[in-house]
Amino acid sequence: MKLILKSGLSSDTVYTIDDLDDWPVEGTSLAVLGHPVKHSLSPPMHNAAIAELATTDKQFSAWTYYKFDIPPDRLEEALAKFHKTGFRGLNLTVPHKVLATELVTIGENEVELSGACNTLLYTASGYEGYNTDLYGMTQAIETDFSIRLKDKEVILLGAGGAARAAAIACSKAGVQRLTLANRTLSKLDTIATSLNRLEQRPTVKTCQLPGELPFTCDDLLVINATSLGLRPEDPAPADLSQLPSSTLVFDMIYNPARTALLKQGEALGMPVSNGIGMLVFQGERSLRIWSRKDPSPHEMLKAVRAAMNSI
């Protein structure tokens, strides 16, 4: 959905830090910051959801969501400028999620536990950081597959910020057995350490990719939290062929819609799902944080879901 505003700005355009020097928007501005960010679906999704919410709540009528390409070495400078300009809310995507935790005040425990934040809320003294990845992933998996995450044995692929948030989400949901798998085995130590700080934590195994994935039962869920799959030509980060055909396969990547991992899962008769649901649930929670409408997810979710269908 392309939105041309009175100021002449468009929510389709990729803006840069220099555009903040003279930001001509009078209403409430929101944005996603990434590097690269061009292909993010967040602006059309949020703008369509905001338009829907504005039909019943005037608060949203002056809100617009933009996208900014911000290189990591300019994130600190950019956040100061966004704050000075008065952006009410920001979403952070690759590669800012971990770096940003040093630059904001911690808004919730999940940020400290995962060491990453992806949603920032304006306060008078600076931005407050939240992590909606945990909520988004849990809700998306439970909705997409109609299951309870706690009933599954999970194999988690990856060791970056996304994997760390996923591991915490699995633990908080009550998963009993978790296998952490990554190409670089040593990077899994950070995740294992953060899980040790939780009161409720699963039995954890680690394994190196590529390699055989260990499992102990048929109630398996594989989650891809690596970045392998973002490019259409990427191979799958793991081989699913030794796993039971009842294994559920969830990929956080939504663009491309079918990664090599999901294609292999499908070919093996496994139920599969990509990250579009996670984006929707994250979007819903971001809107609740920014509008301070918590807890009443229903209208937000309806609006964000309708928005996804319209773009």
Binding to ligand ATR, residues 83-122 (CB under 6 A): 94, 97
Of the candidate residues 35, 83, 88, 183, the single one contacting ligand ATR (CB under 6 A):
183
Q: How far is the CB of 232 from ligand ATR (least distance, A)?
A: 14
Length of the chain: 311
Asked whether position 260 contacts ligand ATR by CB under 6 A, the answer is no
Asked whether position 206 contacts ligand ATR by CB under 6 A, the answer is no
Binding to ligand ATR, residues 50-69 (CB under 6 A): none
Instruction: Compute the distance between CA of residue 32 and CA of residue 41 in angstroms, rounded to an integer.
Output: 10
Binding mask 158-177 for ligand ATR (x = CB under 6 A): xxxxxx--------------
Instruction: Compute the distance between CA of residue 279 and CA of residue 264 in angstroms, rounded to an integer.
Output: 23
Asked whether position 229 contacts ligand ATR by CB under 6 A, the answer is no
Stretch that binds ligand ATR, among 64-72, 101-109, 142-150, 179-187 (CB under 6 A): 179-187
For residue 31, give the nearest of 78, 99, 98 by alpha carbon: 78
DSSP-assigned letters across all residues of 191-231 = HHHHHHT-SS--EEEEEESSSPPP-SSS-EEEEE-SSTTSS
**Please, how many CA atoms are within 13 Å of residue 19, restricted to the half-sphere of its CB?**
16
Q: Which candidate in 81, 97, 152, 172 is catalytic?
A: 97
Q: How far is the CB of 226 from ligand ATR (least distance, A)?
A: 3
SS3 255: coil
Binding mask 115-154 for ligand ATR (x = CB under 6 A): ----------------------------------------
**Tokens 């039995």 -> residue:** 203
Asked whether position 187 contacts ligand ATR by CB under 6 A, the answer is yes
Catalytic residue list contains 172:
no
Asked whether position 35 contacts ligand ATR by CB under 6 A, the answer is no
For residue 36, give the nearest of 81, 64, 67 by alpha carbon: 67
Instruction: Compute the distance between CA of residue 273 and CA of residue 21 in angstroms, rounded to an integer.
Output: 41
C-beta separation of 59 from 90 below 8 A: no
Q: List residues near ligand ATR by CB under 6 A.
A: 94, 97, 158-163, 182-184, 187, 225-228, 237
Active site residues: 97
